[in-house]
Structure 1
Amino acid sequence: MTNFVLVPGAWLGAWAWDEVAAVLRAEGQDVYPVTLSGLAERRDEDAGQQQHVDDIVAVIESQDLSDVVLVGHSYSGIPVGQAAGRIGDRLRRVVYVDSNIPTDGKSFVDGWSAEGQAWVQDQLESSGGYWPPLTAEDYVGQDLSNEEIAMILERGTPHPGRSITEPAHLVRPLSELPTTYLKCLMDGATPSSDVAEQLKSPHWELVELPTGHWPMFSQPTALAKVLTTA
């Protein structure tokens, strides 16, 4: 039996996977949605990026899971990529859902422009060390209904700033791990340059979905199919 460990992106908790998890469970799969430290119902916990890696590994090890498909959306591709290397032969496959991927020694924001880094630093300083959630305008044009946008805005929580500024630490090269990268085409037609480089590996494959950056809300059934196929 495949075990799907689902990790949400910035500002979101395990609740973001509710519809996808329901589809997978109806197909007889075991599903473990994760809320990372500092977010949603765990918002009062201190959290940096390595704590998020530990959160993911702890779910897998505490449940003694094997045959794991480890899924990371958006920001969470960074801790997921690190956790995948740590769980050894428990891993069946990594699936990145329109996500960032980790680079050893680099943080989530290290690849941003100087202006972008200054902007996010200002946000963190003015918000007590947290990255404020997006606004409604940021979700326009991403295949989301008004109701879905309202739910995300209502349930999203500020994201712990240390998790996007601390560097990643890889124990295995990403290119060695069996990986599916899902590109959501309404959020850009092609993957980023670092993802394109990894796709040269024979262990990586590219899948595309004609939806926006949050397919767990916009196309949950199609996303679940991508995961089971992977």
Structure 2
Amino acid sequence: MAEFVLVAGAWLGAWAWDEVVPELRAAGHGAHPLTLSGLAEKQGVPAGQQTHVRDIVDEIERLDLRDVILVGHSYSGIPVGQAAERIGDRLARVVFVDSNVPADGESFVSAWPDGRAMVEGSIAENQGFWAPLTAADYDGQGLTGEQIARIVGGSTPHPGASLTEPAVLSRPLGELPATYIKCLLDGDTPNEDVVKLLTSEHWRLVEMNTGHWPMFSQPHELARILLAAT
């Protein structure tokens, strides 16, 4: 029995996994979707990137979880990757879902040079938060109109400090047992840093023919891939 800890990306909370969690539990595993500080039902809680790392580690320790499969989507791959090394032998595998990955001393915005000005501009204009995407931003990502409305309706502003603070890693990320899920409608190949990590014997690549939010567009296929990681 594995214990899945699921962390969605920017603007989203635990609710984003509502269609994935039942399938993991039906297969006999634990499933623990987590909302990071400052988002969804935790709006108003001050949060930086290290706050989010602690959110994840604290939840795993609070529940005394073992054989953890730690799942990070999009932005959340950065705190998830840091938390994965900090939980030690509790970790069975880390799964990055079309996500950013942490690099020691680098932040989310430093790893995304083309969008840095846009993200920092949004943070400056929105009282320290990255404003959620609009419905039009989800076009071409394999989502129905109903699914887009659900994402947009549930999204909350993302704490800007979590995007600008640097990651802290004590050992190479390639040493962790990991699966990287690449969603092909969001680009044919992973980013260069992920391509390098995939040369590690501990990492493997899985592709999904969908967009950047597979927990909405293909939740059953995503659950199948996560179960294969056990």
Q: TM-score range by the shorter chain?
A: over 0.9
Q: Partner letter of residue 225 of structure 2?
A: V
Given the two structures, how large is their TM-score scaled by the length of structure 1? 0.98
Aligned length: 229
**CA positional deviation for 1:173:** 1.4
Helix, strand or coil for the counterpart of 1:93?
A: strand
Question: Does residue 110 of the first structure (1) align with residue 110 of the second (2)?
Answer: yes
Q: Return the alpha-carbon distance in structure 2 between the equivalents of residues 111 and 178 of structure 1.
A: 22
Per-residue displacement from partner, 1:7-32 (whole Å, max 9, x unpaired)?
00000000000100011111111100
Identity score, percent: 64
Q: Which aligned pairs between 1:1-230 and structure 2 lie closer than 5 A?
A: 1-113=1-113, 116-230=115-229
Q: Return the alpha-carbon distance in structure 2 between the equivalents of residues 59 and 139 of structure 1.
A: 31
**CA positional deviation for 1:102:** 0.3
Helix, strand or coil for the counterpart of 2:189?
A: coil
Q: Return the alpha-carbon distance in structure 1 between the equivalents of residues 227 and 118 of structure 2.
A: 38
Q: Return the alpha-carbon distance in structure 2 between the equivalents of residues 112 and 55 of structure 1.
A: 24
**CA positional deviation for 1:172:** 2.6
Q: Return the alpha-carbon distance in structure 2 between the equivalents of residues 101 and 155 of structure 1.
A: 25
Per-residue displacement from partner, 1:120-161 (whole Å, max 9, x unpaired)?
222111100000000111101111110010011111000000
Q: Return the alpha-carbon distance in structure 2 between the equivalents of residues 119 and 133 of structure 1.
A: 12
Per-residue displacement from partner, 1:19-69 (whole Å, max 9, x unpaired)?
000111111111000000000000110000000000000110000000000
Q: Return the alpha-carbon distance in structure 1 between the equivalents of residues 197 and 100 of structure 2.
A: 12
- Provide runs of 4+ in structure 1 moved above 3 Å: none
Q: Return the alpha-carbon distance in structure 1 between the equivalents of residues 33 and 128 of structure 2.
A: 26
Helix, strand or coil for the counterpart of 1:57?
A: helix
Given the two structures, how large is their TM-score scaled by the length of structure 2? 0.98
Q: Return the alpha-carbon distance in structure 2 between the equivalents of residues 70 and 61 of structure 1.
A: 13
Q: Return the alpha-carbon distance in structure 2 between the equivalents of residues 78 and 60 of structure 1.
A: 17
Q: Return the alpha-carbon distance in structure 2 between the equivalents of residues 68 and 185 of structure 1.
A: 27
**Structure 1 unaligned residues grouped into runs of 5+:** none
Q: Return the alpha-carbon distance in structure 1 between the equivalents of residues 216 and 116 of structure 2.
A: 29
